[in-house]
Amino acid sequence: MVAHGRIPQLDGLRAVAILAVFFNHTLHIPLTWVGVDVFFVLSGFLITGILLRRKSAGGGYFSYFYRRRVFRILPPYALTIVLYGLIFTWTAFQPWPIFAFFGMNLQPYFYRGWLPVQLPLWSLAVEEQFYLVWPVVILLVSEKVLLRLAVAAVVFTPMLRFVCTPLFSNMFSIYVLTPFRADLLCAGAALAILWSKRSARFEGLCRGRAWLGVVAGFGALALVQMWPLFRLASNTRWANGLDYSLSLVGSVCLLAWALAGRGWFYRALVLKPMRYLGQISYTVYLVHLAVVYWFEVRMHSRIAVTVLSLAVTVAYASASWFVMERPLINFAARSGRRARG
């Protein structure tokens, strides 16, 4: 089974991912959208580990998993929607069932009105839709079959993106719809299985060579941007087929490098500020675009917008973490132990 307990450097990796996303939206640094892909891979890794442990323990498989998801995800999500409606507009939440049932990546197909700023809820929808299917798969099949299915998804999904590209007029459908992004979550799942059964040789390979995969994946992604054919904005078969897969390679190797737990990268990830930012990264992600927009309409300096937005976002996320999120996470954990006892 996957090693039990919190892995401190993965909080640091969340910090790396959320900073990439934040600077993508404020400073528009090229290719920092891969921060979302790192989140997807990390989510697939962690969720698969949790579910495999629960399957092994027996009893309360679905109730345990979904209770913890509800307490972790819903309160900050609901509060974000309320605050957005009060500060900006309630019009954003049309049709309401899309937001009530985590279908936010489908919203553009139902509502095409102008909004002051989009909340970045599409990626949450991708993960929640994945959570509806993956726990059932894990419960029904062996780890050997699960690994094969995960690898098959990693191989098949780029082909699906390649074939389906002509069906869409722009890049966003491929970017936000779950079937086209499932390879990242499944790659994380595959790594969870491999890491749980790792040999000393495999662990040493991750420690000594994973950084090469990071450089190769993200480096190749940067390199192919020299040709418009491979830019996501062009919405070509080649861009959609290749770019996300190169990001997948970089993201999976980044996670493997972090798991190896040695060297300067590990020491950077376990710094207290990095671990703390990783802990509050969920709420940072939920609210940062709205905060950035609020400052952008009042200021012309992009640096000032970036600094102030980051400060306000972290302050809000910190208050949410200490007042609401951490107490609810602890309550869910205690109630789960009582239920098993």
The structure's pTM equals 0.95
The pLDDT of residue 332 is: 85
Residue 319: Cβ within 10 Å count: 13
The pLDDT of residue 306 is: 98
Residue 67: Cβ within 10 Å count: 16
Name the stretches of the chain with pLDDT < 70: 1-5, 113-117, 336-341
Residue 197: Cβ within 10 Å count: 11
Distance (Å, whole) CA 255 – CA 48:
14
The pLDDT of residue 115 is: 65
Is residue 228 packed enough to be buried (19+ CB in 10 Å), middle (13-18) or exposed (0-12)?
exposed
